[in-house]
């Protein structure tokens, strides 16, 4: 798969479908020390994306992501909506108007998403949030692409790193979100958002189209 828009559509559709499919699991993860609404919120929001998928503006990949961001913000409740919406909006803004997206462009878009999440959620690496899986995974992606790996191999390394980093959040004490209210009791369980990133990344890598 080489067409930029086709790749973007594939990634967004996979994230949306897997978020719906994993609603129960994501909710169970979040219920350990959070309020348990992560799975429900994500699933309901991405159901709207899937329902209107064919009507989303496809002027270019960046515009597509920006339009998805608006849908997410409008329909995902709790803290997830603003964070995920901001991530898609920043990534879309980074790519908007770009008709020849390169590996470094993808990395830059993901880093823009990270900065948006940090600002919106007032979170940093180590606060036991989805950033603790996403940031190391982006680093791995950048290294993989710089080494000459193709997109499928790079996606696989992104996923492997996201999984190990998400599992490592069990050693951290939550400093943001509802889980932060539990203090030291949050140590010993993984962060739901971080594990969500890992699960979604693994699905993308496992089903990456060839040709």
- For residue 54, the domain's CATH number is 1.25.40.340
Residue 70, domain member (yes or no)? yes
d(C-alpha 185, C-alpha 189), whole Å: 9
pTM beyond cutoff 0.75: yes
Residue 211, domain member (yes or no)? no
d(C-alpha 42, C-alpha 22), whole Å: 9
Q: What is the mean pLDDT of each run of 10 residues along the chain (211 residues)?
A: 82 97 92 76 93 96 96 82 93 93 96 96 88 98 97 97 95 60 59 94 94 57
Q: What sign has the CA pseudo-torsion 192, 20, 162, 65?
A: negative
Residue 192, domain member (yes or no)? yes
Number of structural domains the chain divides into: 1
Residue 21, domain member (yes or no)? yes
- Cβ(159)–Cβ(136) under 8 Å? no
Could you tell me the residue range of the domain that residue 8 belongs to? 4-206
pLDDT in the model for residue 179: 45
pLDDT in the model for residue 181: 39
- Cβ(191)–Cβ(169) under 8 Å? yes
Residue 163, domain member (yes or no)? yes
């Amino acid at each position: 798969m080489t067409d930029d828009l086709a790749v973007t559509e594939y990634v967004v559709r996979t994230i949306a479908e897997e978020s719906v499919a994993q609603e129960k699991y994501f909710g169970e993860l979040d219920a350990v020390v959070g309020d348990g609404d992560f799975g429900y919120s994500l699933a309901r929001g991405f159901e709207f994306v899937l329902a209107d998928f064919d009507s989303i503006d496809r002027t270019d990949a960046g515009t597509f992501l920006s339009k998805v961001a608006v849908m997410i913000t409008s329909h995902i409740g709790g803290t997830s909506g603003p964070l995920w919406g901001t991530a898609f909006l920043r990534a879309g803004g980074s790519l908007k108007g770009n008709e020849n997206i390169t590996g470094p462009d993808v990395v830059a878009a993901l880093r823009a998403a990270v900065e948006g999440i940090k600002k919106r959620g007032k979170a940093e690496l180590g606060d036991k949030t989805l950033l603790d899986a996403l940031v190391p995974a982006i680093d791995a992606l950048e290294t993989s692409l710089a080494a000459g790996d193709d997109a499928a191999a790079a996606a696989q390394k992104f996923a492997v790193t996201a999984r190990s980093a998400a599992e490592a959040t069990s050693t951290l004490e939550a400093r943001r979100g509802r889980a932060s209210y539990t203090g030291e009791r949050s140590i010993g369980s993984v962060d739901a958002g971080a594990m969500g990133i890992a699960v979604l990344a693994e699905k993308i890598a496992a089903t990456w189209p060839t040709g």
